[in-house]
Amino acid sequence: MNPAITTDLDEPLRLSDFDYTLPPERIAQSPLPERDSSRLLVLDRKTGAIQHRVFTDLLEYFRPGDVLVINDTRVTAQRLFGARLGKPGERVEAFLTHRVADGLWRGLVRPGKKLQPGVVVEFGDGLSAEILDRTDERGGRLMRFSTADGGNVEAAIEAHGAAPLPPYITRVLPPEERGRYQTVYADEGGSAAAPTAGLHFTQDLLGRVREHGVEIAHVTLHVGLGTFRPIESEHIADHTMHAERIHLSPEAAETINGAAGRVIAVGTTSARTLESAAVGPGRVEAVDKETSLYCTPGYQFQIVDALITNFHMPRSTLLVLVSALAGREKIFAAYQEALAREYRFLSFGDAMFIQ
């Protein structure tokens, strides 16, 4: 197992240390026709050496005895567009993140100033929602949905909902493409966003991974609202992560602990799950709990040897995590080269393999 990479920090890192210019045209607005056809930047986290490949070339970097860890969460959030009662000409958005009970959802609304408790929003075909409460000062709301004919509310939400894409993706996915915002191994419902590094895998590619002598372990982290919240503190160490639910089964723990090679995490969510379940170098325990783990430069990774990930937003906890694994200077050099070579960034973009 590779030793953890450490960073000597002479002074606290600031948010500005994790900023870079991301041109809008580099943000992928649509998935590629084939999941596994994206480009792949391979970064050696010890030397900083960079290679440019395609995603299916990953097999050349895997070794028999490695364990690939995937997050099998399934996106259950919904994105609805409507208008306030009596104001049919306007457009408001409700991003439903967590179902509390039948017809009762927590989520984010835009514009928040117009959607205060007591306001009713109509979404068409008799589906409406009343804003019950503010859950935070940044658009968080509790909403109760109903249908004019007394029909199944959850079915109506599903029928009217669009893929719950992040706000930087302005294109609405047509119904026939909604499955592209789920991984092919999505199983456990409860996520507000997809673990996007896993979107590159096909069932065929996963089969070839197994044939290569690599075991696959499933873990679960249900992505919460925190994934949409930027770091706002001047010093990154002052940021507090939102708690998210994780699950790692005894069977997965046995596979991970028995790895003869490296433990390769697919996505920052799998990485955080593994590190949250760590009980020592190279060992995890079965867990079913919440985690607020925040990996910043200087963090000692105990489980993760390599990481498959996408390219992340400036000033984000995800960019901070990959910088903790590979070193901030190496990550920023890789990002600048990716921008220069016109890689596609963020959820539907290209991938990195940090080894």
Per-domain boundaries in the chain: 15-75+178-354, 78-163
The tokens for 135 are: 């859950």
Do the beta carbons of residue 197 and residue 268 sit within 8 Å? Answer: yes
Q: Is the pLDDT of residue 320 over 70?
A: yes
pLDDT, one tens digit per residue, over 164-212 is 888 899 888 888 888 999 999 999 999 999 999 999 999 999 999 999 9
DSSP state of 235: B
CATH of 78-163, one of 2.40.160.20, 2.40.10.240, 1.25.40.80, 3.40.50.1370: 2.40.10.240
Whole-model pTM over 0.75:
yes
Q: Closest Cα partner for 215 from 269, 245, 253?
A: 253
H helix runs in 195-266, sequence order: 203-211, 250-257
The predicted structure's pLDDT at residue 7: 39
Do the beta carbons of residue 21 and residue 342 sit within 8 Å? Answer: no
- Spatial CB neighbours of 182, under 8 Å, sequence gap ≥ 6: 74, 75, 194
| Residue type at position 74 | R
Picking from 26-35, 108-117, 336-345, which range would have the lowest pLDDT averaged per residue?
A: 108-117
The predicted structure's pLDDT at residue 10: 59
Do the beta carbons of residue 71 and residue 269 sit within 8 Å? Answer: yes
Q: Closest Cα partner for 184 from 261, 266, 264, 252?
A: 266
- Reported as type and span, the H/E element at residue 158 is helix 153-160
Q: What is the mean pLDDT of residues 145-170?
A: 91
Q: What is the mean pLDDT of residues 268-280?
A: 98
Q: Is the pLDDT of residue 256 over 50?
A: yes
CA dist 12 and 5 (Å) reads 18
The predicted structure's pLDDT at residue 229: 72
Q: Closest Cα partner for 146 from 134, 154, 138, 136?
A: 154
The predicted structure's pLDDT at residue 227: 67
The predicted structure's pLDDT at residue 6: 34
CATH of 15-75+178-354, one of 3.40.50.150, 2.40.160.20, 3.40.50.880, 3.40.1780.10: 3.40.1780.10
The predicted structure's pLDDT at residue 167: 82
Q: Is the pLDDT of residue 354 over 90?
A: yes
The tokens for 354 are: 């940090």
Mean pLDDT, the chain, integer: 93
Secondary structure string (H, E, C) spanning 19-71: CCCCCHHHECCCCCCCHHHCEEEEECCCCCCEEEEEHHHHHHCCCCCCEEEEE
The predicted structure's pLDDT at residue 228: 66
Q: What is the mean pLDDT of residues 245-267?
A: 98
The fraction of the chain above a pLDDT of 90, given in percent, is 81
Picking from 46-50, 58-62, 95-99, which range would have the lowest pLDDT averaged per residue?
A: 95-99
Residue 21: strand, helix, or coil: coil
pLDDT, one tens digit per residue, over 9-58 is 557 899 999 999 999 999 999 999 999 999 999 999 999 999 999 999 99
